Amino acid sequence: MPALFTELPVADPGAPDTRSPARYLLWLARHQRTLLILNALCGVGWMVSQALLWAAVGAAIDHGVTHHDTGALFAWVGVVMALGLFQALCGALRHQFAVTNWLNAAFRTIQVIGQHVSGFGSALAEEVTSGDVVNTVSADAMRIGGAFDVLARFAGSIASWLVVSIILMSTSLQLGLVVLLGVPILATLTTPLMRPLHRAQAAQRDAAGRLAALGADTVAGLRVLRGVGGEEVFLGNYQRQSQLVRRAGVRIAGPQAGLESGQVFLPAILTAIVTFLGAEDVQRGVLQPGQLVAFFGYATFLTTPLRTAVEYVISTTRAYVGAGRVLRVLGVAPLVSDPADPLPWPEGPVELRDGVSGVVVRDGVFAALVTETPAEASEIADRLGRYVAEGDATTVNGVALSRYALNEARRHVIVSEVEPRLFSGDLRDELAPHGDLSDDQIMEALASASALDVLDALDEGLDSYVEERGRSFSGGQRQRLSLARALLSDAQVLILIEPTSAVDTHTEARIARRLRASRDGRATLIATTSPLLLESVDEVVLVVNGTVADTGRHDELVARSATYRQIVLREES
């Protein structure tokens, strides 16, 4: 039993079936089928014992009270107590299994989304907003789990309905058929509300996703909004979108209220029919008084299966809509993928070449890249780091970079963007996420990035907490901390894009001196137009119109290239 309740999150959530929302839900069910079976058995025991309780009460009346048989009365009272204890035991286990199934399904969904986002984040950001992803994790995953929660009670409802129908037919064929056929007929009366509910929930989910995305964008750009006086504009946009969410929620209320009221009204109809027919049978002498009490109890009890059936319809509808949203996130294809038969990463020195532009990064060379526009430098860096699908354009020692596994490429070739991200957590973990570096190594990297003053300003040093996106730091501080993190990767090939664009001239000069020593003997390419950095490198590569136009030292290019002077020294043509 303890092995069933695995620790969450699981080590490996597995590869989901993304062909349809139904197949995704079935995939989740297969992963926890043992728990679901145990949950269903407990649900059946819980509900069937409730149904049989009325049979025992009726027997106690007919055999004990009516015939004044004390022994029979106590015997049937004992049966009632035993059924009550069994019901309590099954109910407790059912609840535990139900919550476990709910959490397992929700957490597995969250993990699958998390893995997909971490692997394909750049591609995902172009098709799905951050608000949609947040809502999918926080709301849709929980709704999917809710369907697994109610599943056991639904199984118990079916079993108890069949048991009650058999008991009734053994006594009164008429009443048995009324229950056997009446329950599914009454339940199907709610199906016309399913499609409107499905559409309304999907519309509300879309509106809520757009609202979350708008809120996230507003918070992220709050400083800019205040600077340009745009708070009122975005406040109005947020208010309008929130009203759309409210109206979409109100539209859900119609079909859902119909389903909810059906939980009360439809069972009441069945109770009235069974009670009326049972009373007629007593008057004709077909039924005993105790049997009538039992029949009334059955009719009252059947409200629970009917309500559970309606609840299951609502929960599965929500889960189906939620699974569709999950598949929308999972359906975003990666920009790059692993080859079918990856090659081992080459040992020894490497030469990384971009076949489109002709830029080459060599072992032991501390080089710089100068382009006409920052976007062009980013495109070259993306190809060298294999962040875009460019076929065999980028090579390692003459072999296409696409022939190597992505994790190998990411481990040996590190690209630090112009606006790298800082995540929340301890600063030490932020700089050395794998926990395999000493504090001395971290301090050395901070010194190379001229970021020791950032550490000195923190009361708890490396144990200080970094807020989300590093918003407690200035732009220059974030940039230097990110540079230190890149240096700590000790990558075989390190590509830095404008690593000093947010720092002052004196700090940039210190970084230029220290960066070369920190990367001594390894391949480094810095995309920059800063003369301070360009003066410190071994070689500058000038790219014009997408291809290498010239190479040389900074002073050599200044002397012979008018284009280089225009880009770096801002000379007029």
pLDDT value for 2: 41
- What whole-number distance in Å separates Cα of residue 141 and Cα of residue 326? 8
The answer for 490, left when phi > 0, alpha when psi is -120 to 50, beta otherwise, is: left
Kind of pairing between the strands at 523-527 and 366-371: parallel
Would you say the pTM of this structure is higher than 0.85?
A: no
pLDDT value for 128: 72
Residue pair 534/528 in contact (Cβ under 8 Å)? The answer is yes
Which amino acid type is present at position 242? S
Per-residue pLDDT tens listing for the chain (573 residues): 445 566 777 778 888 999 999 999 999 998 888 888 898 888 888 888 887 887 777 777 777 766 677 888 788 888 889 988 998 998 899 888 888 888 889 889 998 888 887 766 666 666 776 667 777 777 888 889 888 888 878 888 888 878 877 877 777 777 777 766 776 776 676 666 666 766 776 677 667 766 766 666 665 555 554 555 556 666 777 778 788 878 877 777 777 777 667 666 777 777 777 777 777 777 777 667 676 677 777 767 777 777 787 778 878 888 988 898 889 888 877 777 788 899 999 998 999 999 999 999 999 999 999 999 989 999 999 899 988 876 678 999 999 998 998 888 889 999 987 777 777 788 888 888 887 889 899 999 999 999 998 888 888 888 888 887 777 788 888 889 999 999 999 999 999 999 998 888 889 999 998 998 899 889 999 999 999 999 999 999 999 999 999 999 999 999 999 999 999 988 655
Tokens 């009538």 belong to which residue?
A: 292
Nearest to 100 by CA among 164, 194, 239, 6: 6
Starting at the earlier edge strand, list the strands of the sheet with 394-396: 360-362, 351-354, 394-396, 399-400
Residues in Cβ contact with 322 at an 8 Å cutoff, skipping those fewer than 6 apart:
136, 139, 140, 141, 143, 144, 205
Residue pair 205/249 in contact (Cβ under 8 Å)? The answer is no
Eight-class DSSP state of 461: G
Q: Which helix (H) or strand (E) element contains residue 167?
A: helix 141-171
Q: 552: which strand partners?
A: 540
- Radius of gyration of the chain, Cα coordinates, nearest whole angstrom: 34
Note the helical H segments in 221-373: 222-228, 231-283, 289-301, 303-330
Domains of the chain with bracketed CATH: 2-9+20-330 (1.20.1560.10), 351-568 (3.40.50.300)
